[in-house]
Structure 1
Amino acid sequence: MNEWLAEASSALGLDPSVLDRDLVLDLTKDVAHAVARPAAPLTAYLLGVAVGRGADPVEAAERLSALARAREGAEG
């Protein structure tokens, strides 16, 4: 996976160190379990758009994870 992430980063002209892998994996885990599996990569994309527009990645991921967990709790 690390090799792929390095290649993908290079293809996009990004420094691989900009990716907080655990942050994104934790977010997508929360969304996949609480919302739906297909929502996980789409939410990761939304996180990327938000970060690209200046959002703090940690704060944005925490907000999205909390939203997903709250949704799961509301359905239970």
Structure 2
Amino acid sequence: MGTMSEDQGEGGRNNALNAWVEAAGRALGLAPGEVPTKAVLDVARDVAHGVVRPAAPVTAYLMGLAVGRGADPAEVADRLSELALSWPEPSR
């Protein structure tokens, strides 16, 4: 109990994510509507796949800093995804 089993699927993960974002946002004084969850997840996916996995959470933090300083969340997300998708593949 208390943990999500694998058989809960995508709906269970989405419910858990939404509950977490709402609770964490509340703890930080943010309304759920202020959190661009899909944009953050899309950027994290693009960075994890286009750059390197550990860069995803750091990029989410950078995104938060930029937005906290007044940047438009959608513009930041677009710019970071574009950068990640154009990132050169590492030499093998």
Same fold (TM over 0.5): yes
* Equivalent position of 1:52 in the other structure: 68
Aligned-residue CA RMSD in angstroms? 1.2
Structure 1, unaligned runs of 5 or more: none
Give 1:4's match in structure 2, choosing from 4, 20, 42: 20
Residue aligned with 2:86, SS = helix
Q: Which has the higher helix share?
A: 1
Q: What letter is aligned with 1:18?
A: E
* Equivalent position of 2:38 in the other structure: 22
TM-score, normalised to structure 1's length? Answer: 0.91
> Is structure 2 residue 46 aligned with structure 1 residue 43?
no
Structure 2, unaligned runs of 5 or more: 1-16
Aligned length: 74
> Is structure 2 residue 49 aligned with structure 1 residue 33?
yes
Larger RCO of the pair (alpha carbons < 8 Å, separation 6+):
1
Q: Where do 4+ consecutive residues of structure 1 move more than 2 Å?
A: none
Distance 2:61 2:32 in 1: 17
